Structure 1
């Protein structure tokens, strides 16, 4: 523990940090208040939540992870107790926000754990700032293909904010509750994830929160599905220890995306939680913690090399130098 404390003394600007219990703190970055939970000491572990959620989603697992790590779980801008300005809520902007918060806190490098949208943010962070990324843990992550829950596609349509407001009305909530109960009784995957999805809706109490949610959603999803991908640049994770965690019954981002990402990311590990939905760390927090801890113990932080990065870019996904001519503009692909 002394060595862990020395790490904080050397690079941290957090002040005294509780060993195990998460403490909610705030910092102002670029004029906006950023909320984050912090606990423990040791090598930094950053937990990035999904769309509409907050750092509170990690509360059950933070104390266990904080036994050996400095755990930092931010509320992304527009989420939780962070400010919700009319701003850029793209994945790239979120990655910048995480980088800037870590800069304020004096944390130079970290392992990132990202759930859903947060997985896309973690992957984008590694793409933009590979020298600051030690490992990746992607949980039911976005960016693995266009398929996504019909509920999110519907909310991305015009009128999505009004629909969110409607879902909070007592009458609509009662009717929604009946539908959810029926889906759960039938054993559907969506019925399994519905309580967590309704919890996210409940965390959007006012028009400002709902507007931020819709802006975030439309930056990554439209009526056809996800509009961004990480698959075209997954080859750049070569040498980056990466763990993929998915629930076999994920109704939001299908488990097929986990297999797809695993195939596209050299050296990655894939852990499937049988019977779990989109929130495997809620379904079985003890197994999730042990899976992450084992991954951390068995891997070494990535070392970034500019020449290796340049060579990977030159050879591309197939390890062969790409064409130098113009790209066919008629070929439409998802991209950030």
Structure 2
């Protein structure tokens, strides 16, 4: 164990210059590594007021939320974890189904003494957020899901036919060998193809995230997030088959040049109170491409009274 830990520290030191955040969190945010039964979740906490959790997706970490977190911290307690296996969270061998990761979030909230929350998510974070809301509907006041489908919900099978999503089935030991030392090349493909204008995903952010995904176990964990989609679809379909639907207000947000209005179509298959919103002049990477519009949409929705 000591040898493994020292190896992790060595790898971290090697990429440390690339880990300076493109836009740092405000200094009043504290970093806290929260030990759950199976994993350590690196978490940023700041601000005061009603609690709101921000969940990231693949190709990024919780660092993506810095602009939104800074804004919300004016009147919210903001909690921003790294998903298991990604960022500075620990990298277990398994548990990447989103039902299990919803349990990670529950453990983080328990450690912080937090009950009900608003929940904002992007990409794979959507899938974890959906499961958390399904398991704990009484704890989620409002739910925001941004620009990614949820396995097994709505037109999932049609979405899988999109050739741009070939990476959903890309993984395993040989694929890990292919990308080892080439993490930046692999990730550039996502940042370029899924943005309206690749120049908006800047060099500092690319270097930052490539460094984090080069940490030992990070690419394995990323591939495992996708490999769990079949199980995620089974879990979500089993829940929907009971007649259950999310009852809290849901804001389904799509990037104008990405999922767009399809996000609302997806969520109407899994929730009863869905509002539609689109981030203009943006592809998938909403916080890099149009953080001002994204922040305005989220803040307005969280402040609603209905």
Give yes or no for contact 2:64–2:287 (8 Å, CA) kept in 1.
no
Q: Superposed, which structure 2 residues align to 1:1-336 within 5 Å?
A: 21-30=28-37, 32-143=39-150, 144=153, 145-146=156-157, 147=159, 149-153=164-168, 155-156=170-171, 159-165=174-180, 167-168=182-183, 173=185, 189=196, 191=198, 200-220=209-229, 227=233, 233=240, 236-237=244-245, 239-250=247-258, 254-255=259-260, 257-264=262-269, 265-300=271-306
Give yes or no for contact 2:261–2:276 (8 Å, CA) kept in 1.
no
Which structure has the highest helix share of the two? 2
1:96 and 1:67 map into 2 onto residues whose CA distance is: 28
Measure how far apart 1:255 and its partner are. Answer: 3.3
Give yes or no for contact 1:22–1:59 (8 Å, CA) kept in 2.
no
1:19 and 1:286 map into 2 onto residues whose CA distance is: 17
Give yes or no for contact 1:27–1:35 (8 Å, CA) kept in 2.
yes
Unaligned runs of 5+ in 2: 1-24
Measure how far apart 1:86 and its partner are. Answer: 1.1
1:157 and 1:249 map into 2 onto residues whose CA distance is: 31
Measure how far apart 1:162 and its partner are. Answer: 2.3
Measure how far apart 1:278 and its partner are. Answer: 0.8
Q: Could you report, residue by residue, the CA deviation over 1:249-302 in whole angstroms, capped at 9, with x for unpaired residues? A: 12xxx33631422443322111012331112232221221221111122235xx
Aligned CA-pair RMSD: 3.5
2:87 and 2:115 map into 1 onto residues whose CA distance is: 25
- Aligned residue for 1:161, secondary structure, equals helix
1:66 and 1:106 map into 2 onto residues whose CA distance is: 18
Aligned match of 2:15: none
Unaligned runs of 5+ in 1: 1-17, 301-336
Measure how far apart 1:207 and its partner are. Answer: 4.1
Measure how far apart 1:36 and its partner are. Answer: 0.4
- Aligned residue for 1:159, secondary structure, equals helix
Specify which structure has the bigger relative contact order, considering alpha-carbon pairs within 8 angstroms and separated by 6 or more residues.
2
Give yes or no for contact 2:253–2:264 (8 Å, CA) kept in 1.
no
Give yes or no for contact 1:20–1:62 (8 Å, CA) kept in 2.
no
Q: How many residues align?
A: 269
TM-score (norm 1): 0.69
2:26 and 2:215 map into 1 onto residues whose CA distance is: 35
Give yes or no for contact 2:195–2:289 (8 Å, CA) kept in 1.
no
TM-score (norm 2): 0.75
Pair 1:29–1:287, CA change in 2 (3 A): same
2:146 and 2:284 map into 1 onto residues whose CA distance is: 8
1:53 and 1:215 map into 2 onto residues whose CA distance is: 15
Pair 1:128–1:193, CA change in 2 (3 A): farther
Q: Could you report, residue by residue, the CA deviation over 1:11-53 in whole angstroms, capped at 9, with x for unpaired residues? A: xxxxxxx998432222222263221011100111000111253
1:78 and 1:214 map into 2 onto residues whose CA distance is: 10
Larger Rg: 1
- Aligned residue for 1:215, secondary structure, equals helix
- Aligned residue for 2:78, secondary structure, equals strand
2:120 and 2:95 map into 1 onto residues whose CA distance is: 22
2:91 and 2:225 map into 1 onto residues whose CA distance is: 11
